Structure 1
Amino acid sequence: MSKFDEIRFFDDSEVNEALLGIARDPMMNALMGFTFPDTDKKIWREQFKNIHSVSDFQHNFIAHTIRQILTKSSEGLTTSGFDKLDKQTPYLFISNHRDIVLDTSLINLVLLEKGLIMTASAIGDNLVQKTFLHDLAKLNRNFLVQRGLPLREQLKSSQIMSEYIKELLHKENRSVWIAQREGRTKDGNDVTQQGVLKMLAMAAEDMPLANYFKTLKIVPVSISYEYDPTDSLKMPQLLAKHRDEEYVKGKDEDFMTMLSGVLGQKKRIHLHAGNVLDTELDDIAANSENKNKQLQAIAQIIDESIIQNYKLWPTKFIAYDLLHNTDTYADQYTEQEKQLFVRRLEMRIDPSDAISKEFFLTMYANPLVNKIRSEQKLSE
């Protein structure tokens, strides 16, 4: 028994049995029917028998699924920054988090197509309660973040996850992806939670914090969807927070959100890989010996990279102008793009509900607002 057994993804020796175990699940039929619409299920079930590694499964099946998602629900994926990464080096990718499934899936498709090391990716265990989703996640090299534990158990779980990430990067030569925060950003404000960095630091042992973080080779990644396919689904939680009410998720809400994220229209998508955190960490160590202040400074650097490199699609400028009843950014979009966005707004929320409308527009406008603030700060 390994101390990582409760959270780890499948070893290659376990892949074939796990895959054949879910091959006849109705959800697998739906997934493969979507991926290979003109292929009889007997064919892909037969092909499953020859899959004996995570890599085989990802290359021969899941990569095709993600390409189908892009074809059917987007106007294409563009990238920048990945070409400066080394093909033999494992990185710790920390990105903003907008979509449960797609964020890490798109990053891995890019890594695959550019010949870079694909990631092991963190996923909340609350999202994979169904046996099919649990096994599919582990077949895709997802490791589990244990949610809802009592404080003492949470600390132990964080320690194990920190050690696991270190082991993957340093011993397994495997890149890792984690989101900059727990849960998706609902309001468009991409902010790194210090708790995520504290968890990473738990495996540093006696090494100075900044030195240890240098060994992780952290790459901030900015993910930008022109349309957020789950925009309207985020409204109830934002409204509950506004009213100072506790938000209780409905049964299967996470699963429905996953489906909406995968199948909903996203228009254009852009991924940018920022620079590896390096000399900035030396500066942080030189300026303060306080661990919390160092973590705060590292979080700030990640935030600045994600915000500065975030692709601002026309929807961000349109939302800002609608929110403030101005035409400040009218040169950044066409009248047709504006009309399409307004139609989306009217179809997805009740336009007579002023608060929902404000939250919807703010969600889209905040990346622009944050980029302006960040540029002002850097120029001071």
Structure 2
Amino acid sequence: MKIPAEFDEIRPYSPEELPQIFDELLSDKDFQEVIKKVMPDTPLDALTNILRNCKTNLDVQKNIFYGLLHDLIKKCSDGFSLDCSQIAEKNKGYTFISNHRDIVLDSGFLSVGLIDNGFPTTVEIAIGDNLLIYPWIKKLVRVNKAFIVQRALSMRQMLESSARMSRYIHFAVTQKQENIWIAQREGRAKDSNDRTQDSVLKMLAMGGDRDIIDSLKELNIVPLSLSYEYDPCDFLKAQEMQLKRDVEGFKKSQKDDLINMQTGIFGYKGRIHFQAGLCINDELETLRGLPKTEIFTHVSEIIDSYIHRNYRLYPANYIACDMLDGNTSMAEHYTEEDKLKFEAYLQKKIGLIDIPNKDVDFLRQCILTMYANPAKNHLQAIRK
């Protein structure tokens, strides 16, 4: 398939480009060091042979990343499941819009789940260029079906970049028959109060050559709820909240991003469940004729409603609600043993934070809020 040249800078590598990129990666000393740590039982020669037998990006995912992710699920969690039973046609391209918990694993686990559920392909992934700290990372993510979201641009450049990315997403879904994964907002919601940003939907609508409703329908949007029992980065998020509160103009460094990625990948996650909702095309049709601004607000509300209703809640979510509210109104959802376990977990995670003027009460409240918000949003959504 001929891919328009305008996408060359941001798209995943094409099958024809892969052999050269494999050679560049395999000769990169930094990449070799990472491989030794991540795949200690696989000699470089064996990896070279595996890669050279991969003809497509999907081959790479199935032959390398799929096994690595399943190993990670065994070592760092108590199991992963994806329920996509509401998706009737597996052979169409879909745009999965989800809440965002882990920089790397949200899309990685989704791809594993799609393969395990018999989908013909995985997802192409929107990833910010701020995370592409080293040249080998940029190459590797483009091998792994990522397309690049360009950050740190002027307002005019940002508009042009967003329009091009939107055109690429439409091309991927309609022409390549690919699935897309994109987070409902820029960056992770540090407090887990998941809300779809209208700006994400406006970007998605830019690339269609028809009206807003038809442009969004063309993407076959499926809201996806991601539920991790424990967030390995919870203490890092709380730490960042205090630093933002106390240090004027605080911004995370590239090193911080790297620590977040490593902690998220290798930290303990408990149980993990992803729940796909219905494709929202029928609901989009009911919005036809509304003013533009109202359409985006309504679509955000539809997506949020699905995501909130489809959370899988764990004892920690209910315990955090009661600890924040100072009561036991949700005690039917957990045992005394669950509570003692979560309190010990909370203490341990706060203990990992090492910053000047450490505000334990504030940090505790931040982490409790992260675990409570999914339960609060879920209960509110199912009452509507």
TM-score range, shorter chain: over 0.9
Q: Which moved more, 1:258-267 or 1:22-31?
A: 22-31
Matched residues in 2 for 1:51 and 1:172: separation?
A: 19
* Equivalent residue, structure 2, for 1:55: 58
**Secondary structure in structure 2 of the residue aligned to 1:52:** coil
**Secondary structure in structure 2 of the residue aligned to 1:177:** strand
Matched residues in 1 for 2:321 and 2:150: separation?
A: 37
Amino acid at match of 1:305: Y
Amino acid at match of 2:102: D
Amino acid at match of 2:250: Y
Once the two structures are superposed, what CA deviation does each residue of 1:123-154 show, in whole Å capped at 9, x if it has no partner? 00110121111011001000000001000000
Once the two structures are superposed, what CA deviation does each residue of 1:340-380 show, in whole Å capped at 9, x if it has no partner? 2211211111597111111110111001111222233x1xx
Alpha carbons of structure 1 residues 83 and 278: separation in structure 2 relative to 1, 3 Å = closer
Deviation at 1:244, TM superposition (A): 8.3
Matched residues in 2 for 1:291 and 1:84: separation?
A: 28
| 1:365 matches 2:372 | yes
* Equivalent residue, structure 2, for 1:324: 325
* Equivalent residue, structure 1, for 2:170: 166
Question: Could you tell me whether the CA contact under 8 Å between 2:149 and 2:165 is conserved in 1?
Answer: yes
Deviation at 1:240, TM superposition (A): 4.1
Which runs of 5 or more structure 2 residues have no equivalent in the other structure? 352-357
**Secondary structure in structure 2 of the residue aligned to 1:252:** helix
Question: Could you tell me whether the CA contact under 8 Å between 2:81 and 2:113 is conserved in 1?
Answer: no
Question: Could you tell me whether the CA contact under 8 Å between 2:126 and 2:149 is conserved in 1?
Answer: yes
Question: Could you tell me whether the CA contact under 8 Å between 2:97 and 2:222 is conserved in 1?
Answer: yes
Matched residues in 1 for 2:86 and 2:206: separation?
A: 31
* Equivalent residue, structure 2, for 1:211: 214
Once the two structures are superposed, what CA deviation does each residue of 1:57-93 show, in whole Å capped at 9, x if it has no partner? 1110010111111011000002223463422111011
* Equivalent residue, structure 2, for 1:185: 189
Question: Could you tell me whether the CA contact under 8 Å between 1:16 and 1:53 is conserved in 2?
Answer: no
Amino acid at match of 2:372: A
**Secondary structure in structure 1 of the residue aligned to 2:5:** coil
TM-score by length of 2: 0.92
Matched residues in 2 for 1:274 and 1:139: separation?
A: 29
| 1:23 matches 2:26 | yes
Question: Could you tell me whether the CA contact under 8 Å between 1:180 and 1:191 is conserved in 2?
Answer: yes
Q: CA RMSD in A?
A: 1.9
Alpha carbons of structure 1 residues 96 and 27: separation in structure 2 relative to 1, 3 Å = farther
* Equivalent residue, structure 1, for 2:12: 9
**Secondary structure in structure 2 of the residue aligned to 1:285:** coil
Aligned residues, how many? 374
Deviation at 1:220, TM superposition (A): 0.4
Q: 1:175 aligns with which of 159, 166, 179?
A: 179
Once the two structures are superposed, what CA deviation does each residue of 1:6-59 show, in whole Å capped at 9, x if it has no partner? 111100111122122112445544554466543333322232232232121111
* Equivalent residue, structure 2, for 1:346: 347
Question: Could you tell me whether the CA contact under 8 Å between 1:222 and 1:307 is conserved in 2?
Answer: yes
* Equivalent residue, structure 1, for 2:46: 43
Matched residues in 1 for 2:254 and 2:134: separation?
A: 12
Deviation at 1:318, TM superposition (A): 1.2
Structural mapping, 1:1-380, within 5 Å: 2-25=5-28, 28-29=31-32, 32-33=35-36, 36-82=39-85, 84-116=87-119, 117-205=121-209, 207-242=210-245, 245-286=248-289, 288=290, 290-350=291-351, 353-376=360-383, 378=384
Amino acid at match of 2:144: N
Matched residues in 2 for 1:278 and 1:159: separation?
A: 22
Once the two structures are superposed, what CA deviation does each residue of 1:263-299 show, in whole Å capped at 9, x if it has no partner? 000010000000000221122125x2x1011001001
Matched residues in 1 for 2:232 and 2:154: separation?
A: 33
Which runs of 5 or more structure 1 residues have no equivalent in the other structure? none
Matched residues in 2 for 1:251 and 1:25: separation?
A: 20
Question: Could you tell me whether the CA contact under 8 Å between 1:78 and 1:269 is conserved in 2?
Answer: yes
Question: Could you tell me whether the CA contact under 8 Å between 2:58 and 2:122 is conserved in 1?
Answer: no
Alpha carbons of structure 1 residues 157 and 352: separation in structure 2 relative to 1, 3 Å = closer
Question: Could you tell me whether the CA contact under 8 Å between 2:86 and 2:278 is conserved in 1?
Answer: no
Matched residues in 2 for 1:214 and 1:74: separation?
A: 36
Matched residues in 1 for 2:138 and 2:96: separation?
A: 23
Question: Could you tell me whether the CA contact under 8 Å between 2:131 and 2:254 is conserved in 1?
Answer: no
